[in-house]
């Protein structure tokens, strides 16, 4: 086995037309392959979830889950919900197969968004956008989350080189 959850990662990647090694690299950087990993984004909740007409009347715990990145791919609850995960199942993002399904669905959508870009730039845009919402660049042409992008690319290359 090259990385943890290899079978589950391969299955989700194939379903969404992704490179398994890229999905694994993102899992490594996002959660160190810990399915119980989470990160609550208080600013995101205050700015986007609480004022949103569809979410503002929900229970506080549900609004918090919508504002939390969870699982192997650290998928935001709101992203998974908007892709079809019911509100009462947001905690399922801690299950590897659910995290991989919704995270890979998001990656697939990002690849479709950037499909016209030259391949290397497209891949970097997708990695950056997965992490920060959009592929934001500085005036120098670097990504605002360059360290994250570099870490994913380095791990992706390591996994690709492993026989």
Domain for residue 162, yes or no? no
pLDDT value at position 13? 98
**Mean pLDDT (the chain, rounded):** 91
pLDDT tens track for 112-144: 988 776 666 778 888 888 888 765 666 666 667
pTM of the model: 0.91
Domains in the chain, number: 1
Cα separation of 23 and 10, whole Å? 9
Domain that holds residue 93: 6-156
pLDDT value at position 137? 67
At 44, list the tokens. Answer: 């995101």
Domain for residue 93, yes or no? yes
pLDDT tens track for 66-83: 999 999 999 999 999 999
Domain for residue 161, yes or no? no
Cα separation of 123 and 61, whole Å? 35
More confident residue, 50 or 124: 50
Domain for residue 130, yes or no? yes
Domain for residue 129, yes or no? yes
Domain for residue 23, yes or no? yes
Residue 131 CA to its chain's centroid (Å) = 6
Domain for residue 49, yes or no? yes
Domain for residue 123, yes or no? yes
Average of pLDDT values for 140-154? 82
Domain containing residue 108: CATH number: 1.10.530.10
pLDDT value at position 136? 66
pLDDT value at position 100? 98
């Amino acid at each position: 086995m090259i990385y943890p959850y290899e079978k589950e990662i391969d299955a989700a990647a194939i379903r969404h037309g992704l490179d398994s090694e890229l999905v694994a690299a993102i899992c490594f950087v996002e959660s160190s392959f810990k399915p119980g990993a989470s990160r609550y984004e208080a600013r995101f909740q205050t700015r986007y979830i609480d004022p949103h007409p569809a979410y503002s009347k929900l229970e506080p715990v549900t609004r918090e889950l919508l504002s939390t990145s969870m699982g192997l791919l650290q998928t935001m609850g709101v992203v998974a919900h908007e892709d079809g995960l019911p509100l009462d199942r947001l905690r399922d993002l801690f299950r590897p197969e659910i995290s991989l399904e919704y995270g890979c669905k998001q990656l697939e959508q990002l690849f479709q968004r950037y499909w016209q870009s030259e391949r290397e730039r497209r891949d970097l845009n997708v990695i950056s956008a997965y992490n920060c919402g959009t592929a934001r660049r500085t005036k120098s042409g670097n990504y605002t989350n360059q360290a994250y992008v570099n870490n994913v690319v380095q791990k992706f290359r390591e996994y690709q080189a492993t026989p």
